[in-house]
Amino acid sequence: MFRSLLNSNSNLLRIFSFRPLSSATATATATSTVDYLTNTLCFPRESAIAVAQKLKLKTTTRPDSVVQLFKSYGFAPTHIATIVSKLPSLLLANPVQTLAPKLQFLSNNGVSGSSLVHIVSTNPVILRRSLQKQIIPCISFLKKVLPTDHKIASLLTAKRGTWVVYKFSEQMVPNIETLRSHGVPESNILRMLILRPRTLSFNADEFKAILKRVKEMGFDEKGMMFIHGMCALCGMKKAKWESKVSVFRSFGWGEEEFIALFVKQPQFMSNSETRIRKCLDFLINELDWMPEDIFKYPMVLLLSLEKRVVPRSRVLQLLIGKGLVSRRSIGRALIISEDQFMKVFMSSYEKKIPELLEVYQSNKVGLLL
């Protein structure tokens, strides 16, 4: 296969006849690793020193050919510098046997030009994956579930899109068909591919069992929360799940109350047991919230306790004590944007309460999770 790839593209043939880059000499005795990175790839010297601690160049022959290969696929020096800073070892990879076949395969299968540059620059680890065992079967799989090469490129250029390559499994095809058979929208399946491809790699029978459980809980299969519910249950062993549920029980929650909250906002179960306990303790014992308050504002369970929930709550408690706002304002105050919070609850009252800003800023140091 590699032979055919090499014969099919003139870019690869140039690897054998490249001219060494003028910015570096042929041996490490003539130039240091730091000098090579700064002169050839325009690294800032501080960054070059940091990378040089992980990369020792005895000669510049192979790095030169790697750089030349990347350039032949449209990578600018800044892109190559980004790749090397994230994964220095790629500069010593075999350009003909290791890198070129992968770049060529991706380029021939809809991931070319700016898309290829973006994907590799963002997540160069993709070039450390096996071509035969991961990249080829994954792209073949994506061609079956996505209608066009453009869709495949869009998936892989998403923030976490390359995860699907790392977590690829043959179980993905039957699991996607299971989701489709239950009416899960294609757009939501795509989101699962981007966010949690590991979920789609589950054993097909276990996947069906979890889907059945999620539906029995009351999730709407057409909504995005259905996907988050699947991810939460697939990503957690039974013992860990029970341990987190027991935290809610320790605060007096019943099974139905917990399930209702989970259906509304399943992502909170990705938090650690310690974080869940601290958050519930603050909401219930400090703010006197009841389960219905948390159910109304479940997003609060996803927010940073020390950076957001505590400092904003202290401000609201002060405003409530002065009779300026009602207790019902707390939930909204916790979930609105920072700009909105500053405008509605800080700027509006800072003349009446000069110490308001100090209270807010001092409490941001607070709890450590």
Flag whether 123 is in a domain: no
Alpha carbons within 13 angstroms on the beta-carbon side of residue 101 total 17
| Residue reference for tokens 């209270």 | 359
Flag whether 11 is in a domain: yes
Domain boundary among 33, 61, 95: 95
pLDDT at 14: 42
Flag whether 205 is in a domain: no
Flag whether 276 is in a domain: no
User: Is the pLDDT score of 26 beyond 50?
Assistant: no
Flag whether 195 is in a domain: no
* Cβ neighbour number for residue 356 with a 10 Å cutoff: 21
Distance of CA 79 to the CA centre of its chain: 21
Domain boundary among 55, 79, 95: 95
Taking alpha carbons only, the member of 34, 2, 23, 114 closest to residue 67 is 23
pLDDT at 10: 46
Alpha carbons within 13 angstroms on the beta-carbon side of residue 83 total 29
Domain boundary among 69, 95, 121: 95
SS3 per residue for 150-209: HHHHHHHHCCCCCHHHHCCCCCHHHHHHHHHHCCCCHHHHHHHHHHCHHHHCCCHHHHHH
Contact 235, 198 (CB under 8 A): yes
Q: What is the pTM assigned to this prediction?
A: 0.73
Taking alpha carbons only, the member of 217, 211, 164, 216 closest to residue 191 is 164
Flag whether 361 is in a domain: yes
Distance of CA 345 to the CA centre of its chain: 32
Look up residue 247 and give its two tokens. Answer: 């935290």
Flag whether 65 is in a domain: yes
pLDDT tens-digit map of 260-309: 999 999 999 999 999 999 999 999 999 999 999 999 999 999 999 999 99
pLDDT at 193: 86
* Helix (H) and strand (E) counts in the chain: 24, 0
CA distance 65 to 74: 15
60: domain range? Answer: 1-95
Structurally, the chain folds into a number of domains equal to 2
Flag whether 296 is in a domain: no
Q: Which residues are CB-contacts of 61 (< 8 A; sequence separation ≥ 6)? A: 20, 26
Percent of the chain with pLDDT over 90: 62
pLDDT tens-digit map of 164-188: 888 888 889 899 999 999 999 988 9
331-336 contacts: CB < 8 A, separation 24 or more?
331/293, 331/296, 331/297, 331/300, 332/297, 334/297, 334/300, 334/303, 334/308, 334/309, 335/297, 335/299, 335/300, 335/303
pLDDT tens-digit map of 194-233: 888 889 988 999 999 999 999 999 999 999 999 999 999 9
